[in-house]
Structure 1
Amino acid sequence: MTTFGYLLPTRGIVFSSTSNAELTARASADVVGLARQAEALGYGAVWVGDSVLAKPRLEPLVTLAAVAAATDAIELGTAVYLPALRHPVHVAHVTATLDQLSGGRLSLGVGVGVRPPEREEMEQLGVDYERRGATLNEALAVVSNLWEGEPVDHDGERYELDGASIGFEPARTPGIYVASAAFSPSEGFPPTVRRRLAAHGDGWLPIAMAPEEYAAGLERIRELLAEAGRPRNAVDPAYYVDVVLADSEAAAVEEAREFYRAYYGQQVAYGSKRSLSDDEIRRRGAFGPVDEVERRLAEYVEAGVERFVLRFPAADQREQLRAFASVADAL
């Protein structure tokens, strides 16, 4: 069964609010309120992104704690969280706490960051950008061990622990969704991503990937799992996708372009100062009337996607959330 989750606008409300008072009001109405609406409309999950300095936004795990208190059963996820920006003991502690408080609803999508502002962010926080993939892999190993609730000894390249313990376990061990933006049908995944998927991946959460690329990547992941002695179906096939519903594809693409310009600032086209082309925007997701969005997402379902994380790069989040509910029913 295909499920759909909604990315809450924890950055959108920051860059579009004109005063602190407006931001305070929107944190309640446009984050917690939209999470409640998503649950009422039958969405399976709400997700939040992460950044500390590069793209200012509400802190993700604090936000999900507020959402957990305001909802009943909707799943909670990060798309994506950057563990390398924090010490893994802190990550294990706060995620286990959130999972306990939410009754076992947390999934942890993780990534490393690939844009120039994220390089600067990591440098300011004392993280070696060139070693970020290896740092993330080591951090995930520490976090997974700490989630077991027992003392942990660890002597790694970046972290050293001697009998460290957070003292308790999550209510349900959070699934780790490995984000990726790079996959070559001929060369596969980068080495650090391969190791991350094989050792820690409970889900795969790529972005901006054609359906045929997705299908090839999913098959390669299943091979990696088998080589690691894990079941081939151990990874939940997810996909992060941008969607804008409008009367025409041209109108939807233009709305998305305006959103990207505000969201990313000058770093719109992967580090350049130019705006994204129509084709570059289309590659990010599904844009246009309901039937066109249904057709496009159905291609990903055919490629193996079972869980969508939806971002609506549009001004009216409530209308997009309502309008997409009919698409979800059709798929």
Structure 2
Amino acid sequence: MTTFGYLLPTRGIVFSSTSTTELTARASADVVGLARRAESLGYDAVWVGDSVLAKPRFEPLVTLGAVAAATDSIELGTAVYLPALRHPVHVAHATTTLDQLSGGRLVLGVGVGVRPPERREMRQLGVDYERRGALLNEALAIVSKLWEGTAIDHDGEHYRLDGAGIGFEPARNPPIYVASAAFSPSDGFPISIRRRLVEHGDGWVPIAMPPEEYAAGAHHIEELLAETDRPTNAITRAYYLDVVVDDSEAAAIEHAREFYHGYYGEQVTYRSERSLSEEEIRKRGAFGLVDTVEARLAEYVEAGVERFVVRFPTTDQRRQLRAFSSIVDTIP
């Protein structure tokens, strides 16, 4: 059965609030409140994004801690968290704490960041952008060992630990979902992502990928798993999809364009001086009438998607939650 999660607007409320007072109110209503609403509507998870400097937003694990206290059973995911911006001991400590406080509900989606603002962010935090993939892979190896609750030694390329241990384990080892934006049907995944999927991946969560390319990626993952004697279903096939349901495709795309301008700023136009075209926006998700959105979702399900992470790129989150809930019920 296909499942659906909802990306909480931890960035959207920051760029669209006009005062600290408004932001405080929306933190309660549009983050914690919408998480409760998503749980009541039957979504399987709520997700949050990550950025420290590049795209101002609420810190993801702190946010999920507040959501954990306000919900009962919905999973709490990061789409995606950037471990390379922190020391892996801190990552292990924070994720283990959150998983314990939530009763074993954390899903750790991880990535590296690829655009110019992320490069500047990493420079300011003392992270080598060109080594971000290797940093992430080594950090995941350390975090996975620290989740076992015992002290470890580690002598790696980027990190060295001597008898380091956080002293307790998560309620369950959080599943690790590997993000990717780069895949070639002929060449497969870049080596760093391939290694990440095979050694640490419990899920795969790409973005901005057409259904036929997604299907090729899912097949390639099955081949990688077979080569390492892992079951071919060991990695959950997820997909990060933008959705706007409206009275017409044109209206939905216009809402999305306005949102992207506020959300990404210069990142939207870093390749050119113009804003995103209608075709470029279409490639990011499903926009328009209910039937149009349903058909697009069905294409991805046919391509192998088992779990959707849905972002509504518009300021009217409640309307979208209601509208999309009627679609969820039609997808097998």
Q: Classify the TM-score, shorter chain.
A: over 0.9
**1:161 aligned partner:** 161
Structure 2 distance, partners of 1:45, 1:241, is 14
**2:233 aligned partner:** 233
Structure 2 distance, partners of 1:44, 1:18, is 32
1:222 is displaced (CA, Å) by 1.2
**1:119 aligned partner:** 119
**Is 1:34 equivalent to 2:17 in the alignment?**
no
Give the counterpart letter for 1:61 in structure 2. Answer: L
**1:106 aligned partner:** 106
Structure 2 distance, partners of 1:242, 1:144, is 31
Give the unaligned 5+ runs of structure 1. none
1:272 is displaced (CA, Å) by 3.7
**2:287 aligned partner:** 287
Q: How does 1:22-171 map to 2 (within 5 A)?
A: 22-171=22-171
Secondary structure, counterpart of 1:327 in structure 2: helix
**1:205 aligned partner:** 205
**2:176 aligned partner:** 176
**1:187 aligned partner:** 187
**2:5 aligned partner:** 5
Structure 1 distance, partners of 2:84, 2:190, is 18
Structure 2 distance, partners of 1:17, 1:194, is 40
Structure 1 distance, partners of 2:48, 2:211, is 24
Secondary structure, counterpart of 1:208 in structure 2: coil
Give the counterpart letter for 1:79 in structure 2. Answer: A
**2:314 aligned partner:** 314
1:269 is displaced (CA, Å) by 4.0
**Is 1:21 equivalent to 2:11 in the alignment?**
no
Give the counterpart letter for 1:165 in structure 2. Answer: G
Structure 2 distance, partners of 1:251, 1:138, is 45
- CA contact 1:54–1:117 (8 Å) conserved in 2: yes
Give the unaligned 5+ runs of structure 2. none
1:270 is displaced (CA, Å) by 5.2
Q: How does 1:234-273 map to 2 (within 5 A)?
A: 234-269=234-269, 271-273=271-273
* Compared CA separation, residues 273 and 96, structure 1 to 2 (3 A): farther
Give the counterpart letter for 1:195 in structure 2. Answer: R
Structure 1 distance, partners of 2:269, 2:187, is 25
- CA contact 1:267–1:273 (8 Å) conserved in 2: no
Secondary structure, counterpart of 1:68 in structure 2: helix
1:273 is displaced (CA, Å) by 3.9
- CA contact 1:266–1:273 (8 Å) conserved in 2: no
Structure 2 distance, partners of 1:16, 1:280, is 23
Structure 2 distance, partners of 1:229, 1:200, is 14
**Pairwise CA RMSD:** 0.8
- CA contact 1:116–1:271 (8 Å) conserved in 2: no
1:223 is displaced (CA, Å) by 1.0
TM-score by length of 1: 0.99
Structure 1 distance, partners of 2:264, 2:250, is 21
Q: How does 1:293-304 map to 2 (within 5 A)?
A: 293-304=293-304
- CA contact 1:199–1:228 (8 Å) conserved in 2: no
Cα deviations by residue, 1:254-277 (Å, 9 ceiling, x for unpaired): 110010011111220454442111
TM-score by length of 2: 0.99
Secondary structure, counterpart of 1:10 in structure 2: coil
Identity of aligned residues (%): 79
Give the counterpart letter for 1:259 in structure 2. Answer: F
